[in-house]
Amino acid sequence: MNGKDNLHRLVELLPDEEFPLAQRFLQFLADEAGDGPLIDDDLTAAAEGEAAIDRGDLTTLENLKHELGL
């Protein structure tokens, strides 16, 4: 099974309520695909986001689902 076939299979397994999030993420990946490799600004922004999560300013979707018992 190639990568696209596997991706199609995964999409078929998603519950309908997850489609909007999956679509936004895939659109983000498609939009960013032409931008080339990550640059220092990208890495700095990612580190700042991780630091905000560590401080408790933000949470991950996984943590939110856990907190909500989902």
Question: What is the pTM (predicted TM-score) of this model?
Answer: 0.43
pLDDT in tens, 25-35: 888 888 776 66
pLDDT in tens, 2-11: 888 888 898 8
**What single string gives the DSSP state of each residue in the chain?**
--HHHHHHHHHHHS-GGGHHHHHHHHHHHHHHGGG-S--HHHHHHHHHHHHHHHHTSS--HHHHHHHTT-
pLDDT in tens, 31-57: 776 667 777 888 899 899 889 988 988
